[in-house]
Amino acid sequence: MPQYSLALPLMLALQDESQASNEMGFLERIAAEPALVQLFLVVVGFGLLWLVFGRLARRVKEAEARAAVRDYLLAMEQTLSGDLKGAATRLQRVLKEDPENSHARYLYGLVLSDLGDPAEAHKQHLQLQRGMGMESPRNDKALAKNLLAVGHAEEAVEPAARAAQKLPDDREALRLLFRAQLAAGYPEEAGGTGRRLAHLLPVGDEQQRVLEESSEAYALAAKVKLEAGDAQRARGLLDRAGLSSGGSWQIGRLQAQLALVEGGEHAMWQGLDALEVKDSSQPASFLPVLRESGAASSARVLAKLVPKKPYRCQVCMGELLGPLPLCPHCGTAGRVDAVEPLLFREIASPGRIMDAVEENRAHIARLLEQVAEGDQEAEGELGRLGESAVEETLAYAVEHGSGDSAFVRILQGMGAAIMPALFAAYRKRKADWLARFGEIIGRGSSAAVVGRVVQGFGEEALPQFDELLGTEDRDLRKIIIDYFIGLGDPKTFMRVHEKFPPVEVIHRLNETPEVILRKFLVGAKSGSFLVEMLLPDPGFYRDLDVLAVIPDAADSPALEAVLIHRGFNRSLTTQLIEDLVDSRRYGTANRLLDSFGDKTIEHQISAFADLDRPLELRVELGKRIQSMGAGVVDKLCDCFGSVATGLDGQIVDALSSLGRAAVGPLCEAYSQGSLLEKFAGPLVNRYNHRRVMIVRALAAIAGGPAERGLEALRRGETDPNLKLRLAQALHQMSESKKSGSKPGSEDGGGHGQAR
């Protein structure tokens, strides 16, 4: 037993030594593997880096958070001190770092609103509500305020109502709701809100004003109900209006109107008499006069009591105090306009407005607006104003272009006496960079308008223009040339030749209105500067105007010679063809078409083949085609289609009228085929109808050459149908010789489509 007790510690000691040696062996084996050591070191290194970067990231976020808080607090200080732009810049920086910062976004919206940008402010508060789920009465108030500022009163009602519901004693919320309801056209609801607001306000001017506006809102609601026939409801609303205001002339007028509906004119007069005693501040001196005359209707009496208001609904013509988006009378949206829009324009320069008042510029501006709408009486009144209206009328003429507008006619009607005022206004616009910029972007040209105006002046303005002939001002030179063109006197026009190069004059001729140019061209004569140098120049392109004045011209042959010298062009040829049926222009049209030679042949044949043209014109073209000879055969044959048309007989007649000279070209055209066959090639069958029509034309010509041509075509033809057609034509020619009748008069289906 003692031996076992001594052996046990020994065994334990040996076991510990064995375990320690095993652990050391494991570590030695790991150390012997370099890859395992490297992996261990990499893991340890990444762990240390993760800890370091995590610590740094937390420090950076904490620093950014502190910076954002600092910027937010500084922005609040700047807002309170009045530095709104600086506050907006800081808040933008805060929101860039933290878009979810609701406090910064709310404050940013308030700052934008105070900076005069309610639309952008509304976006910020709307983002708080919809994007970030912020349901706060103060945000609702901001939404309502911004919507009112941008004119969306009806949309402002909802957030204002939410804010007023959550904060029933908040004056600002009730003010916003009251204004939104008034502007959106909810008078009855606005009356109730106004009374709630008045109870919360201290006694003073604001409370009195709110009570009066509330009374007006109830009165307006009563008027709507009364016009709708609901007298009982109107009475209740009028009673509320009286409680709000303590009685007023407007409410008395509505009460009288209601009394008229309920009890007749006697009741109306009783109400008006009581109103006169109750409210002596209103001028009522006209009422006794109307009562004594006995001729005044109740409608006229009540109309006398209605104050004129600056806005009116264009649907029901109801008068309103403000530009409401919804008419409270008829419920129409977007039709409330100012009675006098000019009174509500933004004043850019008060000093200039005061000057305009002294010179009655507002009256001139109103007349110009009426002229733009087509008021002829306003045109006459502006013309009588003379020089005092020149500057504004010129500005309107430039805005409406340099054509024959009413404003140009008004200036022309004022006569040459306005020349100094006209050129003073022109120079003033030229010196005004803003006016010049407007002309550059396309509003019109002052020089073009003044040039158009002076073309309406006569020789009484000649001395003033003689003094200007030596000017180097490019625009003024245009005006001078325009004036001399407008005079319509080629002799006086020689002064322009002495001072201006031809190319400059030609440019102005090209820009001259049709009526003025034709009046000028009528006096042109051979040997003049106009006929010898300007009109033949390639830069001049008003050929149609030259052609138009030839019948009335002082020297028609000279103008014809100009057009012959200028030569062929498409538009001129088209007009010459139309003139063939005009007795006054017939000779000129024929002479010019002949002078252009073969270039017009295709145009004449195209017009001849157009069945929509007048028959008289096509007959004249047929005569001309007949005189052209065999050279037109190919072009006439190209007019035949692949099927029969109503034009075929006329083309056949035109071909046969060319006589025996057309036989050879017709046979050649038969052999060559149509253009369609040339392009289609062997992919389609031959188009026989064209050849049938050529056979008819040859048969109609008759005579030996035609007969020999048909026989040659028959011998060479391989198509049995066409061979039969050719044989029929030869047979008819033979029978015609025997009978003495015209060949082709009994054609066996020549007008029909070839089989």
d(CA 293, CA 227): 28
Amino acid at 697: A
Rg of the chain over all Cα atoms, to the nearest angstrom = 49
Q: Is 298 exposed, middle or buried (0-12, 13-18, 19+ CB in 10 A)?
A: middle
* pLDDT beyond 70 at 329: no
Percentage of the chain surpassing pLDDT 70? Answer: 70
Out of 34-48, 122-136, 350-364, 474-488, least confident range: 350-364
d(CA 625, CA 468): 55
d(CA 94, CA 73): 11
pLDDT (mean) for 125-129: 74
At 419-433, the pLDDT tens digits run 888 888 888 877 776
Higher pLDDT, 444 or 727: 727
* pLDDT beyond 80 at 332: no
Give the model's confidence band at 296: pLDDT under 50 very low, under 70 low, under 90 confident, else very high: very low
At 701-735, the pLDDT tens digits run 878 888 888 888 888 888 888 888 888 888 888 88
Asked if 102 and 91 count as a contact pair (C-beta separation under 8 A), the reply is no
Q: What angle do CA 325, 328, 331 make, to 5 degrees?
A: 75
At 642-657, the pLDDT tens digits run 788 888 888 888 888 8
According to DSSP, the residues that pair with 326 across neighbouring strands are: 333
Please give the pLDDT value at position 684: 43
* pLDDT beyond 80 at 395: yes
SS3 per residue for 640-662:
CCCCCCCCHHHHHHHHHCCHHHH
pLDDT (mean) for 377-385: 84
pLDDT (mean) for 464-472: 79
Plot region of 310 (φ>0 → left; ψ -120 to 50 → alpha; else → beta): alpha
Please give the pLDDT value at position 245: 46
Give the model's confidence band at 285: pLDDT under 50 very low, under 70 low, under 90 confident, else very high: very low
- Give Dmax (Cα) for the chain: 171
Amino acid at 457: F
**Where in the chain are the domains?**
22-62, 567-627, 629-755
Please give the pLDDT value at position 544: 92
H helix or E strand, kind and range, residue 311: strand 311-313
Of the candidates 627, 696, 635, 701, which has an alpha carbon nearest to the alpha carbon of residue 662?
701
Question: Which pTM was predicted?
Answer: 0.48
pLDDT (mean) for 25-29: 61
* pLDDT beyond 80 at 51: no
CB count within 10 Å of CB 5 equals: 8
* pLDDT beyond 80 at 460: yes
pLDDT (mean) for 142-165: 81
336 DSSP assignment: E
Give the model's confidence band at 21: pLDDT under 50 very low, under 70 low, under 90 confident, else very high: low
Higher pLDDT, 734 or 311: 734
Give the model's confidence band at 246: pLDDT under 50 very low, under 70 low, under 90 confident, else very high: very low
d(CA 121, CA 600): 71
Please give the pLDDT value at position 406: 84
Higher pLDDT, 327 or 472: 472
Higher pLDDT, 327 or 79: 79
Contacts of 305 by beta carbon, 8 Å cutoff, 6+ apart = 249, 253, 256
* pLDDT beyond 80 at 683: no
Give the model's confidence band at 531: pLDDT under 50 very low, under 70 low, under 90 confident, else very high: confident
Give the CA count within 13 Å in the CB-facing half-sphere of 418: 27
